Amino acid sequence: MAQEDVFKKLVSHCKEYGFVFPSSEIYDGLAAVYDYGQMGVELKNNIKRYWWDSMTLLNDNIVGIDSAVFMHPTIWKASGHVDAFNDPLIDNRDSKKRYRADVLIEDAIAKIEEKIDKEVEKARKRFGENFDEKMYRETNPRVLEYTQKRDALHERFAAAMSEMNLEELRQIIIDQEIVCPISGTKNWTDVRQFNLMFSTDMGSTADGAMKVYLRPETAQGIFVNFLNVQKTGRMRIPFGIAQIGKAFRNEIVARQFIFRMREFEQMEMQFFVRPGEEMTWFNHWKEFRLRWHKALGLGDHKYRYHDHEKLAHYANAATDIEFEMPFGFKEVEGIHSRTDFDLSQHEKFSGKKIQYFDPELNKSYTPYVIETSIGVDRMFLSVLAAAYKEEVLENGETRVVLQLPAALAPIKVAVMPLVRKDGLPEKANEIINSLKFDYRCQYDEKDSIGKRYRRQDAIGTPFCITVDHQTLEDNTVTLRERDSMEQHRVSISELHALIGEKVSFRTLLQKIVNE
């Protein structure tokens, strides 16, 4: 199945089974805003718990906070967001559609790359086994022509972006003859800077009102609380502060479902270290975070690092962890070495001293920071994309199964009486009553057992328990496992331990430590 089709199916599966709904749907929706349904909220909470526990349980020098969405507006001046958190935008006068100028050019570069790949594939078919791809790419005149074109465009684009030369960005769009996908015309406006922060007014009186921003990242809430946490928690460097919370960005082009939203959630951790030790810690966190991802078992080959060549002015190292989404490898998490930029800026703008006295060195300094920043929603999408499978069974039927990591699954166990009589429903409920304190259970008595299994497969439930007449005699049930579909007769007294071994966060967290 083409990856585009997989993605479309995933989006409709999310809606059909209560994972994700478009926001305000009965009013025709609100662009790039989504609601999580009864299944989605459980999966999302489990992702958050996995992250939170991996930070605060596995690291005794990391504590959490929960800061407010609204913050003093000067914070965003200090952080650079008011002046520099911009995307270059351009409008097409005919379709009245708005685009990110950089994305239009990136798409043009990707199109040239596609042409190169097509030539290579054609040649591969023609030459068969003897095909030497490297040599072909280096010598074929047409491929060379495309490659030169791509490199020249890339270089010109990178230069324009690093200087934020808006006229040059527009000129590239004109020179490349890029057309609007809707109107098909080249009738473009000038390129303008567009600030991504949402703002609103705080205060009830007109003259007393203050312009405040909805935070575009959670990190600043951590920086401005650095001293509070360090002092009250008696924290010694190195230490970290973790936070999960909503962030808001007025994205110009919001596409690809929950990949790019205007309201989303971040899980960020800022780790404060001695100046000079930041690269050691940067490498530590880079490696730790990849282990966290891989422990989920979604497939090691689906991850890659993407080191940044061009760094933000405050950073001295940065890398992304990319995941293979149905639409290609995309950033899910960023790991950044932010130097002492943020704390120094807040010291400057607030006029308050923000330093740490290091008893071992017997001196004060502004700590350096390593940040790990991951979007909950992007993580959610990557988990679902990897878990969604359509399998053809031996009897020719197709089943849709979400092979979710068991600890993240919304429902852990479904309990089903074989028939709706003879005391079997009562027995099933008895089992639920003994398991429900630890595992989210679902009772299901409608339709055939086969159909009930399919329903649970579609929401990723790792275990189904079937209660039949034999259960009443010997207290055994059938335990069916989602991925293998294997069924075993087990005693009710064993259920708690058998399920726990597979679905517990403990098992998952231990994998990070032991890998």
User: Which of 54, 266, 345, 461 lies at the binding interface for ligand ATP (CB under 6 A)?
Assistant: 266
Three-state SS at 509? helix
What share of residues in the chain are helix, strand, coil (percent, to 5)? 45, 25, 30
Angle between helix axes 141-163 and 166-175 (nearest 10 degrees) is 160
What is the size of the binding site for ligand ATP (CB under 6 A)?
16
Are the C-beta atoms of 216 and 196 separated by less than 8 Å?
A: yes
**C-alpha distances in angstroms, 36 versus 23, 41, 44, 441?**
9, 5, 8, 20
Tokens at residue 420, please? Answer: 């709706």
Residue, CB closest to ligand ATP: 375
Q: Residue 58 CB, nearest distance to ligand ATP (Å)?
A: 21
**Is residue 375 close enough to count as binding ligand ATP by CB under 6 A?**
yes
Whole-angstrom Cα distance, residue 114 to residue 94? 28
Whole-angstrom Cα distance, residue 276 to residue 287? 19
Q: Residue 247 CB, nearest distance to ligand ATP (Å)?
A: 7
Nearer to ligand ATP (CB atom), residue 373 or residue 456: 373
Find the binding residues for ligand ATP in span 217-236 (CB under 6 A).
217
Whole-angstrom Cα distance, residue 187 to residue 280? 51
Among 108-116, 259-267, 402-410, 412-420, the segment contacting ligand ATP (CB under 6 A): 259-267
Site mask for ligand ATP (CB under 6 A), range 428-457, x = bound:
------------------------------
Q: Residue 196 CB, nearest distance to ligand ATP (Å)?
A: 9
Nearer to ligand ATP (CB atom), residue 54 or residue 373: 373
Tokens 């999580």: give the residue. Answer: 36
Cβ within 8 Å of residue 263, ≥6 positions away: 33, 246, 247, 248
Nearer to ligand ATP (CB atom), residue 150 or residue 378: 378
Whole-angstrom Cα distance, residue 129 to residue 140? 18
Whole-angstrom Cα distance, residue 451 to residue 438? 26
User: Which of 226, 264, 272, 281 lies at the binding interface for ligand ATP (CB under 6 A)?
Assistant: 264
**Is residue 260 close enough to count as binding ligand ATP by CB under 6 A?**
yes
Q: Residue 322 CB, nearest distance to ligand ATP (Å)?
A: 9
**Is residue 261 close enough to count as binding ligand ATP by CB under 6 A?**
yes
Q: Residue 266 CB, nearest distance to ligand ATP (Å)?
A: 5
Dihedral of the CA atoms 411, 417, 419, 423 (nearest 10)? -140
Find the binding residues for ligand ATP in span 315-334 (CB under 6 A).
331-334
Nearer to ligand ATP (CB atom), residue 158 or residue 513: 158
**Is residue 378 close enough to count as binding ligand ATP by CB under 6 A?**
yes
**Is residue 251 close enough to count as binding ligand ATP by CB under 6 A?**
yes
Q: Residue 402 CB, nearest distance to ligand ATP (Å)?
A: 21
**Is residue 249 close enough to count as binding ligand ATP by CB under 6 A?**
yes
User: Which of 373, 403, 442, 471 lies at the binding interface for ligand ATP (CB under 6 A)?
Assistant: 373
Nearer to ligand ATP (CB atom), residue 375 or residue 417: 375
Three-state SS at 367? coil
Count CB neighbours of 499 within 10 A.
21
Sheet hosting strand 476-481, strand order edge to edge: 441-443, 413-417, 463-467, 476-481, 487-491
Nearer to ligand ATP (CB atom), residue 376 or residue 418: 376
Among 55-63, 107-115, 356-364, 373-381, the segment contacting ligand ATP (CB under 6 A): 373-381
Nearer to ligand ATP (CB atom), residue 377 or residue 468: 377
Nearer to ligand ATP (CB atom), residue 367 or residue 375: 375
The amino acid at residue 271 is F
Among 179-187, 372-380, 408-416, 496-504, the segment contacting ligand ATP (CB under 6 A): 372-380
Among 136-144, 161-169, 275-283, 371-379, the segment contacting ligand ATP (CB under 6 A): 371-379
Nearer to ligand ATP (CB atom), residue 334 or residue 410: 334
Tokens at residue 362, please? Answer: 């017997």
Whole-angstrom Cα distance, residue 174 to residue 112? 16
65: exposed, middle or buried (C-beta count within 10 Å: 0-12, 13-18, 19+)? middle
**C-alpha distances in angstroms, 168 versus 107, 184, 389?**
17, 22, 45
Nearer to ligand ATP (CB atom), residue 373 or residue 466: 373
Contact positions toward ligand ATP, by CB under 6 A?
217, 249, 251, 260-261, 264, 266, 331-334, 373-375, 377-378
